[in-house]
Structure formats: structure tokens, C-alpha cells
């Protein structure tokens, strides 16, 4: 059975091949410093394909050897392993041309930063292509899965990985992997349905995917992959490497935020709300027992259709938006500063607070 330890070994090999390429890339940029933008671009156009090929070859040899070892540990019988294919010269040159504008803006570091992701992907893709080709040619017909390397991955990779173990030749449509991704294509020769790769739980991954899709559908939105991925990040703010600074449901009209009535919530205000009013927060009034996503949904509900909008007793530029959900009253404080009102804070006010008194007397009059 393929284990987490084996996957980690493969990831380690691929990461070291990519690290070698990135180190050479930095050396190359050092040598460009005295050159004009035209000269620097030409050096990169000729040198980068060679650099990528050299380290791609290392990644391929590592992956081929890994495959041979993993296979020998699980099945007997001879198999002629093979190497994957490197990115073409044209692909690498396209990456140079796409980012060379930075050289002419006097920002070679920005070009280096952009190229790092491409070079990491080119080299790691050669390793993944090696595994893919071996799986496709293997007469023992191993199953395969795309497996994120660590406890965290990006939401996109989790969506791909949630497909679980598959049969047949891996069809890795281009664009399966993104820069700085070290997810791996992993073979499994064991025919039983058990899975020994610790931390890889495709059912739980798929559950998060469908839960996000269902949320959107319940809101009357036709869910596409982009919206679903965005909602997965909202629902699990700490799980993904590409989480949102502010939930999309507090910023984007496609996720139900009323952008015609309120400004998008800013990172500073969202951090304030969580620090002060999330469970365990420093304020007196906290959203006890609620997740960040549930808090965001309350704020969105109050933004879309508040039951009352009342002026603050003290600050004339603050309007409080009230909503009552499951017998709990929540308030969202917004500041009017010429443009659309901006969310400042949100919490469930306690019974003694003047904010609650204002709500009670409004209800009374009504």
C-alpha cells in the first residue's frame, strides 16, 4: 500500500529539484544586473529553457526512481520505467516574454518573483509527468490520486484531490496544477479500498466541496467552480493556503453582498470584529458558539434586509442595522462618510446595553 511516508519522500525529492532550479534562477538574475533590459531579456530567453531542462531532468530521474521503488514494494514483475517530458523551449520562453515588462519598468525583482512560480511549476510538472507516464504504461494498472503534500493546500487543489482514487491512465489536463503547488500524482497498486495515506481524506474534501455548492444553490446562485472555491475559502478560513482576508460574502455581489447599499467590508474591520466579538474575543458581547462563516452570514443578512436601521445614541455618523435570527438580536454598526455606509462592527448586544434599549423602544413603538 502507498503510505504517507512514501508520498512525503516523493514530495521531498520534487521540492529539492525545484529548489535547485530556483537557486540557479536567482544566480542568473544576479548576473543580469549590469545589463540593459533588452540584453537581460535575451539572456533569459536563451538561458532559462536550459535551466528548466536541467532541473526538470533531475525531477524526472527522482520520480522515476521513486516509482520503481514504490512499485517493487507492492508488486513483483519487471517493468521498464520511463521519464516524463520537460516543458518545451517555447513554453519557457513564453513565461519570460509574459514577465519581461518588469525589466523595462526597472523592477527585475518583480520579474524574478513571477518567474519563480513558473520555474517551480515547470520542474515539478516534469516529475508529475514522469509518474503519470509510468502509471499509464504499468501492466499492473495501479489506481491513482492527486494528493496534496501537507495539512494545507489551496482550495483548487482540494477540489481536484477530492475526486479520490481513479482507474486508468491519468488525464491531467493542462492547468491541473498551479505555480507553487507541490501536489503529487500518486499510484496505488493495492486493489482493496483501504487507503493508508494519512491526512488524505477525499470524502471529507468532497464533503466540503458539496457543502459550498449547496450554500450557493440555496441562495439561488448557479454555482460554478470559481464561486464554489471562493465559498469553500469563506467556510473554512484556516484550512487553505489561499484563504480570504475578508469572506467573499462580505465583499462581492455574486456572493450576496449588497454592494449597492454598503461598501465591501475591509480587512481591518473584519479583523476587528473577529478580535473583539468572535467567541473568546476581548469584548463583552461575543458571537458565542459561532464560526467565522456563521458570523459573516449574520452580517450579510443584516446588510441585505435589516429589520431596523436606527441612529446611534451618541455618534451621529453611526447607523445601527438590527436583525433578529433564532431569537437573538444582532447589530451591525455602519458609518456614513459621504459615500456608501461602511461596516464598522457587529455583535449581539446584551440586554442592558443602550444599543439594545434603542431596539426595544423601536419595537415598542412599532
Contact residues toward Zn ion (CB under 5 A) are 157, 181, 183
Contact partners, residue 48, CB within 8 Å, separation at least 6: 25, 28, 92, 93, 95, 96, 115, 119
527522482: which residue's cell? 62
Nearer of residues 100 and 157 to Zn ion, judged by Cβ: 157
Do 111 and 71 touch, CB atoms closer than 8 A? no
Nearer of residues 135 and 183 to Zn ion, judged by Cβ: 183
DSSP 3-state of 341: coil
Supply the minimum distance, in Å, between the C-beta of residue 43 and Zn ion. Answer: 31
Supply the minimum distance, in Å, between the C-beta of residue 157 and Zn ion. Answer: 3
DSSP-derived letter for residue 287 is -
Supply the minimum distance, in Å, between the C-beta of residue 279 and Zn ion. Answer: 31
Supply the minimum distance, in Å, between the C-beta of residue 159 and Zn ion. Answer: 10
Supply the minimum distance, in Å, between the C-beta of residue 128 and Zn ion. Answer: 10
Supply the minimum distance, in Å, between the C-beta of residue 183 and Zn ion. Answer: 3
Measured CA to CA, the distance from residue 179 to residue 124 in angstroms comes to 9
Supply the minimum distance, in Å, between the C-beta of residue 156 and Zn ion. Answer: 7
Cell triple for residue 56?
526538470
Measured CA to CA, the distance from residue 302 to residue 256 in angstroms comes to 12
DSSP-derived letter for residue 4 is H
Nearer of residues 160 and 346 to Zn ion, judged by Cβ: 160
Nearer of residues 18 and 157 to Zn ion, judged by Cβ: 157
Cell triple for residue 223?
454555482
Nearer of residues 150 and 311 to Zn ion, judged by Cβ: 150
Contact partners, residue 167, CB within 8 Å, separation at least 6: 141, 143
Nearer of residues 130 and 345 to Zn ion, judged by Cβ: 130
Measured CA to CA, the distance from residue 297 to residue 309 in angstroms comes to 18
Do 324 and 304 touch, CB atoms closer than 8 A? no
Supply the minimum distance, in Å, between the C-beta of residue 153 and Zn ion. Answer: 5
Nearest to 263 by CA among 273, 252, 274, 272: 252
Nearer of residues 174 and 222 to Zn ion, judged by Cβ: 174
Supply the minimum distance, in Å, between the C-beta of residue 37 and Zn ion. Answer: 33
The backbone region for 137, taken as left when phi is positive above 0, alpha when psi lies in -120 to 50, beta otherwise, is: alpha
Nearest to 345 by CA among 325, 315, 366: 315
Nearer of residues 157 and 273 to Zn ion, judged by Cβ: 157
Distances (CA, A) of 254 to 187, 275, 294, 336: 39, 27, 18, 24
Question: Residue 323 is inside which H or E element, if any?
Answer: strand 318-325
Nearer of residues 230 and 334 to Zn ion, judged by Cβ: 230
Amino acid at each position: 500500500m502507498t503510505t504517507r511516508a512514501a508520498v512525503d519522500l516523493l514530495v521531498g525529492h520534487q521540492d529539492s529539484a525545484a529548489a535547485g532550479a530556483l537557486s540557479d534562477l536567482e544566480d542568473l538574475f544576479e548576473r543580469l544586473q549590469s545589463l540593459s533590459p533588452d540584453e537581460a531579456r535575451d539572456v533569459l530567453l536563451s538561458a532559462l529553457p536550459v535551466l528548466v531542462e536541467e532541473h526538470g531532468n533531475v525531477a524526472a530521474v527522482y520520480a522515476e526512481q521513486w516509482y520503481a521503488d514504490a512499485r517493487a514494494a507492492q508488486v513483483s514483475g519487471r517493468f521498464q520505467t520511463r521519464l516524463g517530458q520537460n516543458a518545451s523551449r517555447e513554453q519557457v520562453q513564453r513565461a519570460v516574454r509574459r514577465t519581461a515588462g518588469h525589466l523595462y519598468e526597472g523592477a527585475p525583482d518583480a520579474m524574478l518573483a513571477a518567474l519563480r512560480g513558473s520555474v517551480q511549476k515547470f520542474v515539478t510538472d516534469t516529475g508529475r509527468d514522469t509518474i503519470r507516464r509510468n502509471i499509464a504504461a504499468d501492466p499492473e494498472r495501479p489506481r491513482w490520486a492527486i494528493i496534496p503534500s501537507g495539512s494545507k493546500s489551496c482550495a483548487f487543489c482540494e477540489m481536484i484531490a477530492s475526486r479520490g482514487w481513479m482507474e486508468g491512465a491519468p488525464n491531467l489536463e493542462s492547468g491541473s496544477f498551479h505555480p507553487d503547488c507541490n501536489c503529487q500524482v500518486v499510484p496505488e497498486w493495492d486493489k482493496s479500498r483501504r487507503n493508508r495515506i494519512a491526512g488524505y481524506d477525499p470524502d471529507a474534501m468532497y464533503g466540503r466541496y458539496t457543502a459550498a455548492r449547496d450554500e450557493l444553490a440555496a441562495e439561488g446562485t448557479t454555482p460554478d467552480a470559481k464561486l464554489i472555491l471562493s465559498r469553500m475559502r469563506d467556510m473554512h478560513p484556516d484550512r487553505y493556503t489561499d484563504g480570504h482576508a475578508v469572506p467573499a460574502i462580505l465583499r462581492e455581489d455574486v456572493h450576496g453582498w449588497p454592494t449597492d447599499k454598503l461598501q465591501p467590508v475591509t480587512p481591518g474591520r473584519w479583523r476587528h470584529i473577529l478580535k473583539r466579538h468572535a467567541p473568546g474575543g476581548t469584548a463583552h458581547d461575543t458571537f458565542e458558539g459561532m464560526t467565522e462563516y456563521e458570523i459573516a452570514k449574520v452580517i450579510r443578512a443584516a446588510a441585505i434586509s435589516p429589520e431596523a436601521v436606527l441612529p446611534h445614541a451618541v455618534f451621529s455618523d453611526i447607523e445601527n442595522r438590527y436583525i433578529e435570527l433564532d431569537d437573538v438580536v444582532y447589530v451591525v454598526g455602519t458609518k456614513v462618510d459621504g459615500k456608501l455606509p461602511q461596516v464598522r462592527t457587529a455583535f449581539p448586544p446584551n440586554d442592558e446595553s443602550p444599543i439594545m434599549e434603542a431596539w426595544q423602544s423601536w419595537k415598542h413603538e412599532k
